[in-house]
Chains A and B, each alone.
Chain A
Amino acid sequence: MKNRVLLVLVIVAAATAWGLAFLTVAPNRLLTGTAIPLAQISTPWRDALLLPAVILVLGVLLPQRMRTHAVVGVTAALLLSGLVWLAGAEAARLAKTASATSRTALGGGFWLLALIAWLAAGDAIERLRLGPVASVVAHLCVLLPVVVLLFAGELQHLSLLKEYSIRKDVFFVALARHVQIVVAALLPTLLVGIPLGIVLFRHTKSQASVFAVLNVIQTVPSIALFGLLMVPLALLATALPGLRQLGVGGIGMAPAVIALILYSLLPIVRSTVAGLAQVPRPVVDAAVGMGLTQGQVLRKVELPIALPVFLSGVRIAGVQAVGLAVVAALIGAGGLGALVFQGLASGALDLVLLGVIPVVALAVVVDAVFRILENLRSTPRG
Chain B
Amino acid sequence: MSSVIQSSIIKKFAMALSGLFLIVFLLQHFIINITSVFSEEIFNQFSHFMGTNFVVQFIAQPILIFGVIFHFVMGFVLDLKNRGSRNVKYVKYKGSSNASWMSRNMIISGLVVLSFLGLHFYDFWIPEMKYKYVEFLPDDPNRYYTELTHKFEDLTKVVIYVVSFGFLSLHLLHGFSSSFQSMGVNNKYSPIIKIVTTIYSIGIPFGFSFIAIFHYLNH
Question: Is B a genuine binding partner of A?
Answer: no
Q: Report B's interface with A, CB cutoff 8 A.
A: none
